[in-house]
């Protein structure tokens, strides 16, 4: 553990986990974490123990792995775990007519299996875009998608999802620049959005609570809350990539996790309802990093152009 309190929780040991893009703690089992690769030949996800070893590998029936970018975990009204997998990557911002999010009931046993998936199709109300984050409000069961853009947004899914038509995602708030993942706290009292540089915690209203420094990672892709809601989990793409636990600042609200979505949640608990959150501006450090990256990319292009003359 370093001076900031962050600690390496484990390292993925499975050589098949090469691009861990989504991450979630099991909502029903201590010491079990789920992940999936960015994209692969088959829709596959892994249950991993706190030692980094794969406990079970699951295939999803009725799903495709076009460009998986994120996952989330929640509970249904009966308290059973639900896993969500987001095929929402779109680097061309319009390559796909719609995007898909798959719902899978958390497996009852930790052994290899093929699980049925329910597919929900979506489109954005204001045009296609790239996204790498999803989150589910545990108090309402409402699904949200966070776009990955220089001027990103949070989109809310319909309260009732339909499988027989394309569901419309409606913009309800602003997101930090180039968001790579997002997650709701188990108690519904906060949510977090990750970027390449740091993470920001918000109240359900969209008000910023705290910015949380993140460990240096090769390609910061994932963010999730610990099952008890007292810390954040973050990971990276790459073979044998690490997963870190980062404690939440003292001013971040925490409480006992919600057992299941409330049947009639208080309107004040619905995030970003009827108003947009204040945009999260770039810090000076963020601007300098982006400028350095742009200068470096330009230099490489000029060098290659001269070599190919």
Q: What is the mean pLDDT of residues 22-47?
A: 93
Q: Is the pLDDT of residue 300 over 50?
A: no
Task: Domain 7-278: give its CATH architecture.
Answer: 6 Propeller (2.120)
Handedness of CA 241, 225, 171, 179 (dihedral sign): negative
Predicted confidence at residue 262, as pLDDT, reads 54
Q: Is the pLDDT of residue 283 over 70?
A: no
Q: What's this model's pTM, rounded to 2 decimal places?
A: 0.85
Q: What is the mean pLDDT of residues 275-304?
A: 47
Q: Is the pLDDT of residue 266 over 60?
A: no
Q: How open is the CA angle 100-105-109, to the nearest 5 degrees?
A: 135
DSSP state of 279: P
Q: pLDDT class for 291, splitting at 50, 70, 90?
A: low
Predicted confidence at residue 157, as pLDDT, reads 98
Q: What is the mean pLDDT of residues 77-100?
A: 93
Q: pLDDT class for 306, splitting at 50, 70, 90?
A: very low
Predicted confidence at residue 271, as pLDDT, reads 54
Query: Helix H segments across the chain?
Result: 284-307
Q: Is the pLDDT of residue 3 over 60?
A: no
Domain ranges of the chain: 7-278, 282-309
Predicted confidence at residue 93, as pLDDT, reads 81
Whole-angstrom distance, CA of residue 226 vs CA of residue 230: 6
Q: What is the mean pLDDT of residues 179-188?
A: 96
Q: Is the pLDDT of residue 253 over 90?
A: no
Q: What is the mean pLDDT of residues 255-260?
A: 64
């Amino acid at each position: 553990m370093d001076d900031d309190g962050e600690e390496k929780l484990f390292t993925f040991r499975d050589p098949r986990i090469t691009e861990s893009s989504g991450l979630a703690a099991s909502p029903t089992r201590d010491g079990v974490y789920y992940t999936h690769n960015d994209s692969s030949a088959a829709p596959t996800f892994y249950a991993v123990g706190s030692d980094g070893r794969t406990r079970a590998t699951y295939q999803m029936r009725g799903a495709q792995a076009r460009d998986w970018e994120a996952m989330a975990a929640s509970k249904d009204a009966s308290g059973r775990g639900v896993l969500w997998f987001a095929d929402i990557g779109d680097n061309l911002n319009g390559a796909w007519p719609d995007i898909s999010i798959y719902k899978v009931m958390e497996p009852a046993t930790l052994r290899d299996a093929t699980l049925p998936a329910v597919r929900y199709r979506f489109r954005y109300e204001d045009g296609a875009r790239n996204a790498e984050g999803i989150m589910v409000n545990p108090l309402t069961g409402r699904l949200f998608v966070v776009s990955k853009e220089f001027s990103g947004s949070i989109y809310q899914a319909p309260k009732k999802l339909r499988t027989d038509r394309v569901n419309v995602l409606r913009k309800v708030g602003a997101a930090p620049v180039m968001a790579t993942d997002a997650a709701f706290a188990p108690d519904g009292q906060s949510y977090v959005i990750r970027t390449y540089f740091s993470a920001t915690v918000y109240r359900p209203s969209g008000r910023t609570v705290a910015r949380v420094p993140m460990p240096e990672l090769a390609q910061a892709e994932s963010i999730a809350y610990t099952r008890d809601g007292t810390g954040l989990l973050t990971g990276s793409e790459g073979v044998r990539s690490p997963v870190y636990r980062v404690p939440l600042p003292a001013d971040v609200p925490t409480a006992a996790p919600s057992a299941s979505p409330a049947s009639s949640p208080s309107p004040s608990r619905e995030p970003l309802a009827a108003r947009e959150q204040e945009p999260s501006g770039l810090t000076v450090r963020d601007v300098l990093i982006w400028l350095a990256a742009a200068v470096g990319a330009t230099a490489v292009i000029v060098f290659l152009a001269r070599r190919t003359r």
